């Protein structure tokens, strides 16, 4: 498991923290992720979606190793979790399934919300909290919503926070489509899996961005950090020049 480190600057005064970014575990074994994190020093853990799969039905937690990760993560540092598309049953075949697009559907079973809360992790599902003077929000996936748009209206209120603002947003392609103009200091994402294959430093393919996508990895405009993911969820297509990674983000005032 690779550890990738990024340093970002901010004009906000008296700001210094390091966050571990984890994305796209997809219910695969998490021991390598924890081992890598335990060798690092950081202040909080940001889980940017697709930690687990299909939380639409109530099934015992042993079937959800991704949520088992939360139990262990909170022992290391405060942990903030926002859903991706797979938690809501939103694999890409689902958009061809009409009943999954019903506006009346309840995407996350209440049992799973209760379980996530019981681990001690902070669930941010189109909501925000404050931690050490930082406003941390979580934007959900819009994959199964009308027009495939996320519910981002609440960001107007989130953006009124005077201090540093950090948004967990699983889909990096939302940055250009919906988020760029919000006065949010940092966006953290996953979803693109690094492009699966990387050739000459570029990802080959990413969901919702297609061939040679723009947003697959790294830091963009000192505001958007994208994880390549911590597991190879595309089981029949190996990664190529694209190791799994835990990302360490250090933010400091100028």
Q: Report d(CA 59, CA 54) in Å as an integer.
A: 10
Query: Which residues are CB-neighbours of 139 under 8 A, at least 6 positions away?
Result: 82, 126, 150, 152, 155, 167, 168, 169, 170, 174, 179
Q: Report d(CA 45, CA 39) in Å as an integer.
A: 14
Compute φ and ψ for 181, nearest 5 degrees.
Answer: -85, -5
Binned at pLDDT 50, 70 and 90, residue 177 comes out as: very high
Residue 236, pLDDT score: 74
User: Is pLDDT at 189 greater than 90 in this prediction?
Assistant: yes
User: Is pLDDT at 107 greater than 90 in this prediction?
Assistant: no
pLDDT, average across residues 119-138? 97
User: Is pLDDT at 36 greater than 60 in this prediction?
Assistant: yes
pLDDT, average across residues 104-129? 90
Residue 65, pLDDT score: 87
| β-pair partners for 203 | 198
CB 10 within 8 A of CB 252: yes
pLDDT, average across residues 36-41? 97
Closest CA to 101 of 147, 138, 58: 147
Residue 60, pLDDT score: 62
* Predicted model pTM: 0.94
Residue 31, pLDDT score: 96
User: Is pLDDT at 211 greater than 80 in this prediction?
Assistant: yes
Dihedral-angle region of residue 50 (phi above 0 means left; psi in -120 to 50 means alpha; beta otherwise): left
User: Is pLDDT at 117 greater than 70 in this prediction?
Assistant: yes
Give the model confidence (pLDDT) of 198-208 as tens digits.
998 899 999 88
User: Is pLDDT at 101 greater than 80 in this prediction?
Assistant: no
Q: Which of 107 and 20 is assigned the larger pLDDT?
A: 20
Binned at pLDDT 50, 70 and 90, residue 33 comes out as: very high
Give the model confidence (pLDDT) of 8-17 as tens digits.
999 999 999 9
Average pLDDT, the chain: 91
């Amino acid at each position: 498991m690779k550890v990738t480190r990024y340093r970002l600057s901010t004009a906000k005064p008296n700001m210094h923290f390091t966050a571990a970014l984890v994305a796209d575990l997809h219910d695969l074994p998490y021991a390598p992720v924890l081992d890598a994190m335990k060798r690092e020093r950081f202040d909080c853990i940001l889980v940017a979606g697709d930690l687990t799969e299909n939380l639409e039905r109530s099934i015992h937690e042993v079937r959800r190793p991704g949520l088992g990760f939360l139990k262990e993560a909170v022992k290391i540092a405060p942990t903030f979790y926002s859903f991706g598309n797979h938690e809501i049953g939103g694999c890409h075949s689902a958009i061809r399934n009409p009943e999954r697009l019903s506006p009346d559907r309840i995407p996350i079973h209440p049992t799973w919300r209760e379980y996530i809360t019981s681990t001690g992790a902070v669930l941010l599902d189109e909501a925000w909290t404050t931690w050490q003077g930082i406003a941390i929000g979580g934007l959900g996936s819009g994959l199964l919503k009308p027009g495939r748009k996320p519910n981002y209206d609440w960001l107007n209120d989130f953006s009124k926070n005077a201090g540093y603002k950090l948004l967990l947003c699983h889909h990096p392609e939302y940055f250009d489509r919906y988020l760029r103009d919000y006065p949010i200091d940092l966006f953290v994402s996953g979803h693109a899996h690094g492009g699966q294959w990387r050739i000459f430093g570029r990802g080959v393919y990413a969901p919702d961005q297609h061939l040679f996508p723009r947003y697959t990895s790294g830091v963009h405009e000192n505001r958007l950090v994208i994880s390549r993911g911590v597991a190879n969820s595309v089981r029949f297509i190996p990664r190529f020049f694209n190791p799994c990674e835990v990302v360490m983000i250090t933010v400091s005032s100028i």
